[in-house]
Amino acid sequence: ESLSTQRPTCRRAMGADGTPRPAVRVVQASDGDRRLHAAKPAYPGDALVVEEPLLLVPSDPFALIAASPEGAAMLEASRALGNLRPFAAYAAYAALHLEKRCAVDAFKVEASASAVRTLRRAVQTLLEEDPAMEAAADWAEVVRLHGVMTCNALQLPDGCLALYEFIAVGNHSCAPNCEIANGQVQQTEGPHGPHRIALLQATRHIGVGEELTYSYVPAAILNATTRDRTDFLRLHRGFSCHCVSCQPSPEVLRLRRRLWRGCQSVMQVRSAGLAPNQPRFALQLSYFRDSDDLDVAVTERPRSGRAPRHR
């Protein structure tokens, strides 16, 4: 029986007030997305969430996959696919209890993320070339779970991917009010190996009901231009950031409105000596990456006997 048919449709039980942890609560937004909000006031340095991974994918997943009941078939499929990593989340998910599977299923997958699109195309090509491989795995679940980890999990210093039930609900912001403590995850030894305990702490004062956010991108990208941050998030996470730091300045908004009005006016102007569908003016739009600014040049098309004019 495939994992997709075994996947439960339940939701993890929470308290009557919807508070999974004393300091935070998960809120269902009007767009269907989940958000992490503060359940009580927090101050800089306060620990809001401390938890172990819900799902963990090691940097070298061979042993994890080989130990699963369908390990031989998955290893054969991974060799045909040329990539072992997507089957790691599949094998780890299969080993979870029902309650934890419910929590994993609550996470969304950004279909536009580069890793998801690449894997989906690779699977499609593999099955077209070798239809017999379709029985090797539940490929829809392989793609879905790989997407869940790619779009929601934290990359640990040792190369592991860790999906945290509550921390992973927090949205990205280029001006966050929280951070993962020390920029990494604490690893403490336990009876079954190291625990990857993540600590989400406040970086400023946070009021009750305020959304908790942290940065998904490295510090070097966070301090880069808006366009660079947007390109990074769209490529690796499959979404565009619309936080306060990524919103265009009032000057840029005014320039865009003027440009739009100018385009409408210019394209309506026709010269009697030109063809009916040939505009009298040409537009040249320039974008300056360093300042996130726009510039426009309007050039009148030359007529006989005189040079073009710039406006």
Instruction: Say if residue 162 is exposed, middle or buried (CB neighbours under 10 Å; 0-12, 13-18, 19+).
Output: buried
CA distance readout (Å), 32 to 1, 28, 37, 106, 107:
30, 6, 15, 11, 11
Structure tokens at 80: 């045909």
Question: Which strand (E) or helix (H) includes residue 56?
Answer: strand 55-57
Positive or negative: CA dihedral 262, 268, 274, 276:
positive
| Residue in this structure with the two tokens 């004393």, named with its chain if needed | 22
The pLDDT, as a whole number, for residue 93 is 94
Measured from the Cβ of residue 203, the count of other Cβ atoms closer than 10 Å reads 14
CA angle in degrees (0–180, nearest 5) for 171-176-182 = 100
Which positions of the chain have pLDDT values less than 70? 1-22, 182-195, 248-253, 255-256, 259-311
Alpha-carbon distance of 76 to 31, in angstroms, equals: 40
The pLDDT, as a whole number, for residue 244 is 75
